[in-house]
Chains A and B, each alone.
Chain A
Amino acid sequence: MAVYARGYRTYDGDFRGPPVAWTIFREGVAQALRRKGFRWILNITAFILLATAGMIYIQVIVEKQAQRLTGGMVRAQLMELDQIIHGFHATTMFLVSLGAVLVGSGLVADDLRTRALSLFLVRPIRPVDYMLGKALVLPALLIPLALLPGLVLWLLVGLWQPPGETWTFLQEHSDIAWNVTRFYLVGAAQLTGLLLLLSSRTPRRGLVIGLSAAILFGGPVLRAIGRLVLGPIGTLLKSLDLPNNMLWSFTRDRREWQFEGQGGGGRWGGTTGEERWLQWQPDPTVIYIVCFVLLAAGLYFTWRRARSVEVDA
């Protein structure tokens, strides 16, 4: 037929822009930042951070004043920095969870609901590009909520040390930086995994918000049940309190000040304060397993979504 006679030019284009996963990631972050709710969460977290920093600064001033008054012989007891950071994280944990749910619930579900996925699938995007682009959004958005504040406080307190002692202080307390990073990594892995998993299963964002909120905020109930159940099931139940997993990842290396507040190191009802405290906490290895399983499941189902619409047909 005449219509075929004009022939066809072969594809002569190439990828001139950044990797597609990076473009998807950037758009995901931009979309999240366009959400008023998430911007409010960022602002409130920044306010709490400022307040905490201000409180520490006042303590430092008081300490310096005390040193002057007593000829520098008395060193005021600045509250342990890791306790302060733990307090900050415990206070903002609700905001971290809420922010993750707000942003993460729509990561894939919005594409399904608005049928934008069909537009992605007719673009030169590999499923792995889509998966990576989506999976990086939440960890990036959790940085200002769960990683930076702890590191900023650690650095600030280091900077407020007497001249010449900053580096020594930071080195002596380098475990705090690592614990903050672990807190962030555990949170990023399990929240990303959970929300990708739920978001890629349904186009209904409200359902994803409801389910993820139930899982995140119902965690303490599971942990309480897990404390009563012996064996691997109990261990597993205790590790399903995702926010607690994050906090426990931060504090488990410095838990002495925790159980001191729970009855000291003395014996009570046959158990020490530390033993009773540990009964409530999951095994660190199981936390990592939960992180891995959630993340792997979330990534797999997101990848599968971007592979084909066969499952919908």
Chain B
Amino acid sequence: MSAAQAGIVLDRISKWYGEVMALNEVSAEFGPGVTGLLGPNGAGKSTLIKLICGMLQPNLGQVLVNGKTPFNRPSVMTRVGLCPEQDALYPQTSAWNALTYLTRLQGFSARDARMGARRALERVGLENDLGRSVAGYSKGMRQRFKLAQALAHDPDVIILDEPLNGLDPPGRRTFSELIRALGAEGKCLLVSSHILHEVESVARRIVVLNFGRVLADGTSRELRRELPEFPLTVRLTTSEPAELARHIVAIDGARRVEHVDGGLEVLTHHPAEFFDAVSELATSGTVPIEAVTPMDEDLEAVFRYLTQ
């Protein structure tokens, strides 16, 4: 696939503010589907989004959105939608007016803009609150409005900066479903967040960013597999924890053993060898082992490990 066809291409981009290095030789490609951009505060996520949206120019390297450099090229933005992290709207205007206006700025006629605005507001579930002032909206409704303004012109590339912030659990579920649906439609979605389970719930692919560098890129399972030295906590359910503990401490990969309710929790730096040893122990019948459950094979643990 050529770079011209891909949604977003980052080619060794670096960006610094004075002496502060915000991004350091970041390379990545984002195509159709949902990609999670994950990193703690100050990792460089916002800078990356601004570079993709053409608000900033990289000091080194090249950003391509739909094959074109976005900085100082507003036509690129006809196919890009941004849902910013902060509230960004005219609070004294009704949602309907504000969204129609923002859609008209995409180059639509008044009629098309109204149609696009209505479609987008319906899609995010605000069709019953069109005439209300955005100032009177709850935090969740404002999030929905921000997403609507990013969707109203039917862009190919959608960037969502902390989209689930401030949403209640039902709102999060609805939002996550909507994001996944957009990804399934073939749109290129980049979802930035520092809340890990949020990203994991919507994105198959995850790019971990910290200190301005890409630390990891892949699915959470791939990331986990590619980190053999990553410590893993395993819960062993047994009726005889003391006896089992005696055997576990003899296994080479076990680093820490804790007695918990109903069994043991074991920390290992060599999960593969540890699982082999536990399997042997269970099949030998020396000590009863009812269940073996990896406790932290999720993104949270991977992220913690990568960013520490």
Contact = CB atoms under 8 A, between A and B. Distances in A.
Interface in B84-118: 84, 86-93, 101-102, 104-110, 112-113
Given A8-B31, A8-B156, A11-B78, A114 B186 contact: no
Given A124-B74, A310-B56, A313-B17, A119 B102 contact: yes
Nearest to A110: B90
Interface in A276-291: none
A11 B186 contact: no
A24 to B, nearest CB: 7
Nearest to A5: B1
Contacts of A27: 101
A125 interface: yes
Contacts of A24: 105
A125 B50 contact: no
Interface residues of B, number: 54
B75 interface: yes
A13 to B, nearest CB: 6
B66 A10 contact: yes
A115 interface: yes
The residue among B53, B55, B92, B156 with the most chain A CB atoms within 10 A of its own CB is B55
B192 interface: no
Interface string B61-88: 0000010000110111111111010111
Interface residues of A, number: 39
B7 interface: yes
Given A114-B88, A119-B149, A13 B186 contact: no
B55 A23 contact: no
A17 B50 contact: no
A114 B109 contact: no
B225 to A, nearest CB: 16
Interface in A255-313: 307-310, 313
A15 B71 CA distance: 20
B47 interface: yes
Given A15-B107, A126-B74, A309-B50, A118 B31 contact: no
Contact of B79 (A6, A11, A308, A310): A11
Contacts of B156: 8-9, 11
A266 B67 CA distance: 78
A16 B105 contact: no
B107 A8 contact: no
B306 interface: no
Nearest to A13: B78
A75 interface: no
B49 to A, nearest CB: 10
A1 B54 CA distance: 26
Contacts of A110: 90
A23 B106 CA distance: 10
Contact of A23 (B53, B93, B104): B104
B5 A115 contact: no
A245 B175 CA distance: 57
A110 B112 CA distance: 27
B75 A11 contact: yes
A11 B90 CA distance: 29
A120 B104 CA distance: 11
Contact of A123 (B5, B6, B92, B105): B105
In the A-B complex, the 8 residue pairs with the closest CB atoms: A15-B107, A115-B88, A4-B31, A124-B74, A122-B82, A17-B109, A3-B33, A123-B105
12 contacts: A6-B186, A13-B79, A110-B90, A115-B84, A120-B105, A121-B53, A121-B55, A122-B77, A123-B77, A309-B55, A309-B56, A313-B50
Given A4-B31, A121-B55, A125-B77, 8 more contacts: A11-B75, A13-B79, A24-B105, A122-B53, A123-B105, A124-B106, A307-B72, A308-B56
